[in-house]
Amino acid sequence: LHVPALSESALLVQATGETEVIMPVNGRYDITLEGAHCYGECYMGGPPVFLVEDGAASGPVPTSPPPAAAPTSTPEAVDGTETATSTPLSTGVPDPTATITPTQTLTPTVTSTDTPEPTATSTLEPTATSTSVPTDMPTVTATAIATVTETAVSSTATAAIAKVDEDASGGETAVFGFIPREQASWWLLGSAAVVGIVLAIVGFAKRRR
């Protein structure tokens, strides 16, 4: 802290009663103040100190230069009955015509915000897929074979019985005109065996299902 000096020396008195003589340097006293020893309870920096100067006139220490005196006018001497009058100084009364202009107030402006519209999303429709079904069924094929075979055998047997023609020259009997009599029985047995094999295959296929 720097304090202007009014004398050649001063007495620095602590709040606890301790005193110290200090000398001014360059026309001022350099005083170091202690910091506060508490936190929220203190409203000032630290303990106060008193500066007492020797031989200084009692009175308040001037903090600012005194105001300058207002100039006064001296009336001039005028011959005759005229008297000198002085013009009064301005008292600083405000002009009654001056009015206070109200300040401009800010008006809030409303800004519109764009609301996002929902967008349509395309949904995939299920498509029908064709599955190929096998047309050749074992049951149909086996039945057709069996039917044709049985019909052929029956027709062959009927034709063989109905169209028996004896050959007068050779003494042999011909079936259908080209099968000898001795071979007709073998043809019948072979046809029956083929029909049995086909029926066995069809039955085995049905059991596996």
Instruction: Provide the whole-model pTM.
Output: 0.26
- For the segment 148-174, what is each residue's pLDDT rounded down to a tens digit? 334 444 444 444 444 444 443 444 444
User: Cα separation of 80 and 61, whole Å?
Assistant: 52
**Residue 120, token pair as written in the block:** 């349509």
> Exposed e or buried b for every residue in 107-121, given b needs 16+ CB within 10 A?
eeeeeeeeeeeeeee
- For the segment 3-30, what is each residue's pLDDT rounded down to a tens digit? 899 988 998 898 888 898 989 999 998 8
Burial (Cβ within 10 Å: 0-12, 13-18, ≥19) of residue 175? buried
Q: Tell how strand 173-175 and strand 179-180 pair up.
A: antiparallel
Q: Can you say whether the dihedral through the CA atoms of 55, 57, 60, 61 is positive or negative?
A: negative
Q: Which amino acid is at 91?
A: T
73 closest CA partner among 55, 85, 83, 64:
85
The DSSP string of 152-190 is HHHHHHHHHHHTEEE-TTT--EEETTTEEHHHHHHHHHH
Q: What is the pLDDT along the chain (209 residues), one digit of tens a residue?
A: 888 999 889 988 988 888 989 899 999 988 887 776 676 666 666 778 888 987 655 555 555 555 555 555 555 544 544 444 545 454 554 454 555 555 565 666 666 566 666 666 656 666 666 555 544 454 444 443 433 334 444 444 444 444 444 443 444 444 445 566 667 788 888 899 999 999 999 988 888 87
User: Cα separation of 4 and 29, whole Å?
Assistant: 6
